[in-house]
Amino acid sequence: MTVPPICDYEGSRYRTEFWVPERAYEDGAERAALRALLPPTGRLLVEIGAGFGRLADLYGGYERVVLLDYARSQLQDARERLGEAGPGGRPRYTYVLGDFYRLPFAPGLFDAVVMVRTLHHAADAPAVLRNISGILAPGGVFVLEFASKRHLKAIFRYVLRRQSWSPFDPQPVEFVPLNYDFHPAWIRRHLEECGLRVTRIRTVSHFRVGFLKRTVPTGLLVFLDRLLQPTGALWQLTPSVFVRAAAPADRPPAPPGSFFRCTACGSLLLVDEGDRLICTDCGTAFPFQDGLYDFRGGER
Ligand SMILES: C[S@@+](CC[C@H](N)C(=O)[O-])C[C@H]1O[C@@H](n2cnc3c(N)ncnc32)[C@H](O)[C@@H]1O
In testing the pocket of ligand 1, which one of 46, 47, 118 has its CB within 8 Å of the most ligand atoms? 118
Residue nearest to atom 19 of ligand 1 (CA): 99
Q: Helices 184-193 and 125-135 sit at what angle, rounded to 10 degrees?
A: 50
pLDDT tens string 38-96: 999 999 999 999 999 999 999 999 999 999 999 999 999 999 999 987 656 666 999 99
Q: Are 156 and 54 in contact (CB under 8 A)?
A: no
- Is any ligand 1 atom within 6 A of the Cβ of residue 31? no
Q: Which of 89, 51, 80 is nearest to 67 (CA)?
A: 51
Mean pLDDT for 256-263 is 97
The band of 200, judged by pLDDT with boundaries at 50, 70 and 90, is very high
pLDDT tens string 32-49: 999 999 999 999 999 999
Per-domain boundaries in the chain: 16-254, 260-295
DSSP H stretches of helix in the chain: 24-37, 72-82, 125-135, 152-159, 184-193, 210-215, 218-228
Q: Which of 80, 98, 147, 86 is nearest to 119 (CA)?
A: 147
Is residue 5 over pLDDT 90? yes
Residue nearest to atom 4 of ligand 1 (CA): 51
How far is the C-alpha of 119 from the C-alpha of 122, rounded, in Å? Answer: 5
Q: Are 266 and 257 in contact (CB under 8 A)?
A: no
pLDDT tens string 240-252: 999 999 999 999 9
Q: Which helix (H) or strand (E) holds 46?
A: strand 42-48
- Is any ligand 1 atom within 6 A of the Cβ of residue 6? yes
Is residue 1 over pLDDT 90? no
- Is any ligand 1 atom within 6 A of the Cβ of residue 51? yes
User: Helix, strand, or coil here: 207?
Assistant: coil
The pLDDT, as a whole number, for residue 2 is: 67
- Is any ligand 1 atom within 6 A of the Cβ of residue 242? no
The DSSP result for 171-204, as a single string, is: S-EEEETTEEEB-HHHHHHHHHHTT-EEEEEEEE
Is residue 266 over pLDDT 60? yes
Q: Which helix (H) or strand (E) holds 94?
A: strand 92-97
pLDDT tens string 220-236: 999 999 999 999 999 99
Report the topology of domain 16-254: Rossmann fold (3.40.50)
List own/partner pairs for 152-160 with CB under 8 A and 24 or more apart: 152/237, 152/238, 153/239, 154/181, 154/239, 155/237
Portion of the chain with pLDDT greater than 70, in percent? 97
Q: Which of 55, 107, 49 is nearest to 74 (CA)?
A: 49
